[in-house]
Chains A and B, each alone.
Chain A
């Protein structure tokens, strides 16, 4: 683990969680794609 200065710690803590936004976007996007696949690829073809 790196030794951080107090300024670096403060910057990290107060920075927006961009990685979280990116990860959540990927997950939610994946869910939408999977739902659409199931709806149009499996559900509707079964009539």
Chain B
């Protein structure tokens, strides 16, 4: 990407993402300190829940959305080798999303939107929070439009040619996000904003939670797809090898998009508003969506194995040692996969219909999603940043050794934070609590784990600050006249010259998604209009 205007667009998105990230890390450390109950001076339920809500929104909505948009623009321009369609619209999208973020931040930081990032009605926030969140989503919808139009224009200009894998996956993510965000958009527009403005007196929390469940699981894959894109299109080349299979990668992205959507009720296993049969149906779908992750794991590890063997690795596992562990992208993928193994296991426990009851409302759940999101996903966002920053600013990375140290500390910190979190869940510590009072033997047993979590949070905060330092030093370094590196996308072992349309577009899959969503969410939503339900008054703000 040599166009300065597009580079500025991408960098603007990524800076917003990483500034939100480091602020959220700071809040996270405050939360483990406060929740531990070991520092009475910090005890404040009001501040704690304001902090948790801000932390969740910054991490889950701001960091991810801005990173995904910026990365998507980079992929579109660099993989398709054409200018971005409608640059002014892309800037409009950026500013709408940024204004929305600032608007939502005001009630969050003043304690008037302590509804957590999952909203949880009938707790209600100031209307500015919901309107700000809506603007953030509207900005992301414009991004989706830009990605899909760019995708369509390229296909029209290159009839029959396979769309580059990176852009195929980015367009898949745009389509996924349009479907994903529809549920929460309906909830916010027709339930939460009218309630927060006093236009309606009551809300049906069952309907609201059902609509949020529509969004709550596929949003995880919206966050995860850039990570998988890096797995497939950057890692094999950085490791010195080839992508094991382009077609398998496309199939994995398709299955991911199609089956990530109709499965959200595993978040509602303990809720009364949906029947057991619907929950079981969604539970089965949850296991289906594990398939593309397995395929991804296989393809990426096979690509690494080829690279390791080309570098002289012998034997069944000798190739692991010959991989270039000092390459930030390769180190990050190894650490990311390690966290995916443990986080994926936690996810299987969550999805297990009966066993879910043991962990559902415990500390196990935040431990799980921090490991998958903060671990597997974010470490690859960081690796992508280390790879793209020099290409975007035209200067070499400030320090590869510091980058490697930052990745290791992120992995170590996340392990120290999330392992005791899982254990606390099994010991019975509830989630969504602001303070632990050590006045009996049960809670006293939690104390050592709380200490470990404080330590893990500190390591993560230090690691996040180091990331910002490395990126800023790279960008602010004197101009390097000799720096002329370009992005390198991995080539598959067997190049693809033609592909069937179902592996090169989404028309068929869009229809399949529509049918599956109608089956899995049709009656569960319509039932609220067929039966008498009693609304709940708003409370909280």
Given contacts A1-B311, A12-B310, contact A17 B355 (CB under 8 A): no
The CA of A42 and the CA of B355, in the complex, are separated in Å by: 10
Chain A residue at smallest Cβ distance from B493: A13
Give the B interface residue count (CB, 8 A): 32
Binary contact track B317-359/A, C-beta < 8 Å → 1, others 0: 1011010000000000000000001001100110010110010
Instruction: For the complex, give the distance between the alpha carbons of A13 and B311 in Å.
Output: 12
**Which label, helix, strand, loop or mixed, suits the secondary structure of the A interface?**
helix
Q: Is the CB of B317 within 8 A of A43?
A: no
B306 at the interface (CB under 8 A from A): yes
Q: Is the CB of B298 within 8 A of A12?
A: no
Q: Which residues of B contact A (CB under 8 A)?
A: 240, 242, 244, 294, 297-298, 301-302, 305-306, 308-312, 315-317, 319-320, 322, 341, 344-345, 348-349, 352, 354-355, 358, 426, 493
Q: Are A27 and B341 in contact (CB under 8 A)?
A: yes
> Of all chain B residues, which has the CB nearest A27?
B341
Other-chain contact of B316, A2, A19, A31, A39 (Cβ < 8 Å): A19
A-B contact count (CB 8 A): 63
A13: which of B242, B315, B344 is its contact (CB, 8 Å)?
Answer: B242
CA distance A40 to B426 in the complex (A): 14
Min C-beta distance of A9 to chain B, whole Å: 7
Given contact pairs A1-B312, A22-B317, a sample of 20 additional A-B residue pairs in the complex whose CB atoms are under 8 Å apart: A1-B240, A1-B322, A2-B311, A4-B310, A12-B306, A13-B493, A17-B244, A17-B301, A17-B302, A17-B305, A17-B306, A18-B316, A19-B315, A19-B319, A23-B301, A24-B294, A27-B341, A31-B348, A35-B348, A35-B349
Q: Are B348 and A9 in contact (CB under 8 A)?
A: no
A20 and B302 contacting across the interface, CB-CB below 8 Å: yes
Q: B358 to A46, Cβ gap below 8 A?
A: yes
- Please provide the chain A residues from 2 to 45 with a CB less than 8 Å away from any CB of chain B in the complex: 2, 4, 9, 12-15, 17-20, 22-24, 27, 31, 34-35, 38-39, 42-43
Which residues of chain A are within 8 angstroms of B308 by Cβ–Cβ distance? 19
